[in-house]
A and B are shown apart, each in its own frame.
Chain A
């Protein structure tokens, strides 16, 4: 069965530190998407990135980078030079495309606190 594990419940860092959020997934499908969402203290869920299972290239967007490794079923998220505004809960999610639908399976989330 499909599953997403975010083993880090909470992470606390000081501003300007680099931080990596781990995500490990399980799926039987060969075609799937992986996502990261951010939930700031205001409560909304903000889409950050989607990665197709056939595309293992790492991605960088400003201070954010993502490392997708199919060999270890991991899709880790790194924030470089963290800032207080990065404080949020971050969710990793998996979407299998079999059956013609895209249900999202969420991990439990990692709460990141960035202190000044």
Chain B
């Protein structure tokens, strides 16, 4: 089975541009998570969804960040406008909940560089 799929793998953009990161979770998983990893702050949870509904977005740093999950097999994380401090690796993860299956599986990440 395919794991979590993220695209693009690398993104270089200029300050002020809109950036959209995409994620396809593992089929059947009912939780989806977006994380950001930086040297300074480590791994941070930005937002997570349960059955396509955003549950906790308290980790989203600013209004410039937004996330959607229009269906069970697709989610986006959008940054508009982007800033150099948004440069980081963004991970998507998915999991089941219940029945002892609560393991988050991570995608390969999107390495974002904002110039």
Contact = CB atoms under 8 A, between A and B. Distances in A.
B105 A106 contact: no
A64 interface: no
Q: Which size class do B's interface residues fall under? A: 20 to 34
B55 interface: yes
B45 A43 contact: no
A7 interface: no
B43 A103 contact: no
A52 B48 contact: no
Nearest to A42: B108
Contacts of B34: none
Interface of B: 31, 33, 42-43, 45, 48, 50, 55-56, 89, 91, 93, 95, 97, 100, 102-109, 111
Given A45-B93, A45-B106, A45-B109, 12 more contacts: A33-B102, A43-B89, A43-B108, A43-B111, A46-B106, A47-B105, A47-B106, A50-B102, A97-B102, A101-B55, A101-B97, A104-B104
